[in-house]
C-alpha cells in the first residue's frame, strides 16, 4: 500500500470479513452502495449492453438510464416475474453485464440466480447480483454462479443506520473485470473512511442475529396481514402465494429477509393514512437497520415509478414481533 486512495488496512480488515461471508476470493468497500454499483458499470465501453430488472432499487435504475444514454451503452429492462424475460433480453456477444437484484426492492420478486448465471454466461456476459436485501446470511450468490455480489452496506451489513457504505465481492480475484473494478475505485477514490469501516466491522458482528430476528418478524407480519380486510396484497417471498416463493425456498436459507410490502385497500390516501397512524414503525426511507421503518415508495419515486401508489414498504427491525404486529394492526383497523 502506498496511498490511502488505493488501499487502507482498516477497510482491508472489513473487506476480508465480507469476502469470507460471501465465499468470495476478494471484496472491496466503497463510499456507498451506488458507488459500488457504478464501479461495475464503469468497466463497460460504449456499444456494450446491460440487462437489468424493471423493478429494482430506483436510484440505480434511474442512474443506469441516464448513464447508458450519455455513454452509448445499451440497456434493456426485463420483467423479473416472467422467467422467459431475461433470456429474451440478453444479446449474445453484445450483452456484457446482467445485473439482477433479488429480492427486488420494493415488490420482493425473487430472481433465480443460478438460472440468471447460465443465461449471462451463455451470452458471454457476467452476472452481478445486488444482494443487499438477502444478505450473505440468507443467500450466497457466488456459490450459485454469480461473478460479482454487490451490497449497499448502508443497510443490513452495517445495520444501525449510521454509515453510508457499499461493497463488492468477487468469485475470482484474478479476473480482468475485478482488476478493472479495483482500478476504477483507486482512480476515483470512492473509498470508505476508516471510521466508517470500523463501524461497519462492528455492525457485521451482529449481522446473523439481526437478519434472523428481522426475518422471523417479517414472516409473522406477512402471514398476519395477508388477507386482512384493509390489505389488497402482502408481498413477501416467504408467503407461499407470492411469485418467486419456490425459487426463494431453493436459494434463500434460514428465512426470507426483513423486507415486505403491503398494498393497502383504498389506494394512495389510505396508504398514507396508515403511515401517519404508526407509532412503532418510523416513516423513513432507508432499510435494514435495527429500527422498523415504513415508507410510501410512490411519494419517494414519483410519477415515473413502476410502483403502485397503494404500496407501503416495510423494513422490519429487531423490536418485539408482537409490538410490530400490534402497531400495524391498530393503524390498519382504523380503516380508510
Catalytic sites, residue numbers: 5, 57, 130, 155
Residues 21-40 that bind ligand PLP (CB under 6 A): 32-34
Contacts 24+ apart (CB under 8 A), 147-150: 147/117, 147/120, 147/171, 147/172, 147/175, 147/177, 148/40, 148/177, 148/178, 148/181, 149/22, 149/24, 150/33, 150/36, 150/37, 150/40
Q: Does 132 bind ligand PLP (CB under 6 A)?
A: yes
Nearer to ligand PLP, 108 or 281 (CB): 108
Smallest gap, in angstroms, from Cβ of residue 273 to ligand PLP? 25
When the beta carbons of 148 and 332 are compared against ligand PLP, the nearer one is: 148
Nearest distance in Å: CB 314, ligand PLP: 13
> How remote is the C-alpha of 236 from its chain's centroid?
14
Among 53, 141, 159, 166, interactor with ligand PLP by CB under 6 A: 166
139 binds ligand PLP (CB under 6 A): no
Q: Output 164 or 294, the one with its CB closest to ligand PLP.
A: 164
Q: CB-wise, 123 or 296, nearer to ligand PLP?
A: 296
Q: Smallest distance, Å, CB 154 to ligand PLP? A: 4
Question: Does 131 sit near ligand PLP (CB under 6 A)?
Answer: no
135 binds ligand PLP (CB under 6 A): no
Asked if residue 154 binds ligand PLP (CB under 6 A), the reply is yes
> Using CB under 6 A, which of 95, 152, 230, 292 touches ligand PLP?
152
Residue ranges in contact with ligand PLP by CB under 6 A: 32-34, 57, 59-60, 101, 105, 130, 132-133, 152, 154, 164, 166, 287
Amino acid at each position: 500500500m502506498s496511498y490511502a486512495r488505493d488501499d487502507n488496512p482498516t477497510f482491508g480488515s472489513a473487506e476480508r470479513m465480507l469476502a469470507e461471508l460471501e465465499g468470495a476470493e476478494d471484496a472491496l468497500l466503497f463510499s456507498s452502495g451506488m458507488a459500488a454499483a457504478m464501479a461495475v458499470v464503469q468497466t463497460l465501453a460504449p456499444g456494450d449492453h446491460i440487462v437489468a430488472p424493471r423493478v429494482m432499487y430506483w436510484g440505480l435504475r434511474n442512474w443506469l438510464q441516464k448513464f447508458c444514454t450519455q455513454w452509448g451503452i445499451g440497456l434493456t429492462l426485463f420483467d423479473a416475474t416472467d422467467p422467459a424475460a431475461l433470456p429474451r433480453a440478453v444479446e449474445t456477444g453484445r450483452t456484457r453485464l446482467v445485473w439482477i437484484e433479488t429480492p427486488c426492492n420494493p415488490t420482493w420478486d425473487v430472481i433465480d440466480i443460478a438460472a440468471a448465471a447460465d443465461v449471462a454466461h451463455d451470452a458471454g456476459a457476467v452476472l452481478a447480483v445486488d444482494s443487499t436485501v438477502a444478505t450473505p446470511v440468507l443467500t450466497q450468490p457466488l456459490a450459485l454462479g454469480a461473478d460479482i455480489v454487490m451490497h449497499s452496506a448502508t443497510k443490513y451489513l452495517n445495520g444501525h443506520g449510521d454509515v453510508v457504505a457499499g461493497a463488492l465481492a468477487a468469485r475470482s480475484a484474478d479476473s480482468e473485470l475485478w482488476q478493472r473494478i479495483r482500478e476504477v475505485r483507486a482512480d476515483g477514490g470512492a473509498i470508505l473512511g476508516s471510521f466508517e469501516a470500523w463501524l461497519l466491522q462492528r455492525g457485521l458482528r451482529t449481522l446473523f442475529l439481526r437478519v434472523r430476528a428481522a426475518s422471523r418478524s417479517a414472516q409473522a407480519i406477512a402471514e398476519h396481514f395477508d388477507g386482512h380486510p384493509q390489505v389488497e396484497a402482502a408481498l413477501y417471498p416467504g408467503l407461499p402465494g407470492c411469485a418467486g416463493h419456490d425459487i426463494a425456498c431453493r436459494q434463500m436459507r434460514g428465512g426470507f429477509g426483513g423486507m415486505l410490502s403491503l398494498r393497502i385497500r383504498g389506494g394512495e390516501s389510505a396508504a398514507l393514512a396508515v403511515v401517519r397512524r404508526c407509532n412503532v414503525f418510523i416513516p423513513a426511507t432507508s432499510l435494514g437497520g435495527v429500527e422498523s421503518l415504513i415508507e410510501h415508495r410512490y411519494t419517494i419515486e414519483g410519477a415515473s415509478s413502476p410502483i403502485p401508489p397503494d404500496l407501503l414498504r416495510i423494513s422490519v427491525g429487531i423490536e418485539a414481533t408482537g409490538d410490530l404486529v400490534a402497531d400495524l394492526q391498530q393503524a390498519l383497523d382504523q380503516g380508510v
